[in-house]
Structure 1
Amino acid sequence: MEVEARFNSVERLQQYITGCKSEADGHIVDTRVPVGWPTNGTIDFRDYKMKYRENTPVVLDGLSFSIGGGEKIGIVGRTGSGKSSLGVALFRLVEAHEGSIRIDGVEISTISLRQLRRRLSIIPQDPVLFIGTIRYNLDPFNNYSDEQIWAALEKTCVKDSISKLEGQLQAPVSENGENFSVGERQLMCLARALLRNSKVGT
């Protein structure tokens, strides 16, 4: 049984290497977005259809709706109704089958993944932290100052507990953040999103 399981793993790896379709380009030289985009964060779905693979059914079928800038909405529904698929669509983890999504008037399929994803934020349902330091988890690309990071931690009411740790922002984070409580991990994920100050977040 163990040998069979290991060979199944090899077959799966081979399938992923040779059969998986790549994402769109991370960089598109000729695309430009307005400076500071998005400024308001309005989102327009226009007759949007999405399927996870060519030979699978449509999971989002003809969605058309608008969300105003600064508006906060909740999406409810039973398991399999497409709630998570809306987030997948916004981040272009799967490309549209038909229709379009516009953020502040810009069709997101016409810009690079890097331009799009750097301007969106997500707070995961299961709080995710990585091995490293607190600072690395909040600002992995060193885009922000310590003062900005502390301000984000203060907004999420976790500044006091972080400031008591040895090393403070340089305090170590173990695998999956297991040296912090689930609540602390959730607050740090929230601080990470606040630090980016995105106009669109999920």
Structure 2
Amino acid sequence: MSSEMETNIGAVERLKEYSETEKEAPWQIQETAPPNSWPQVGRVEFRNYCLCYREDLDFVLRHINVTINGGEKDPILFSGSLRMNLDPFSQYSDEEVWTSLELAHLKDFVSALPDKGDHECAEGGENLR
């Protein structure tokens, strides 16, 4: 009973402390428009980008040029063939798909799969890790 009383007294002390604490300034919402120089569209652009993990190491990325426009995002793999995930609307030839895999340094990996481009992907690509 005494430990319960001690616990309750601690709660009362906290209430007293909070009630005596000076109140913060009221929340002020400023509804101002961004300046005219604010970009009207989102875009991330890398020009001749290079990256190394430490200053004393060689670059692991060299001369990367890429533009990511607003609304674009990283790919999500769906259940279905790898080919369907790479070209869901069948807009590109097999040669173009293999060229893209080669440029992404994935040609050897996909070539080693038993069904190659017809490899059946699990949701989220779980069976490709």
- TM-score of the superposed pair, with normalisation by structure 1: 0.32
Larger radius of gyration: 2
- Greater RCO (CA < 8 Å, at least 6 residues apart): 1
> Structure 2-normalised TM-score?
0.48
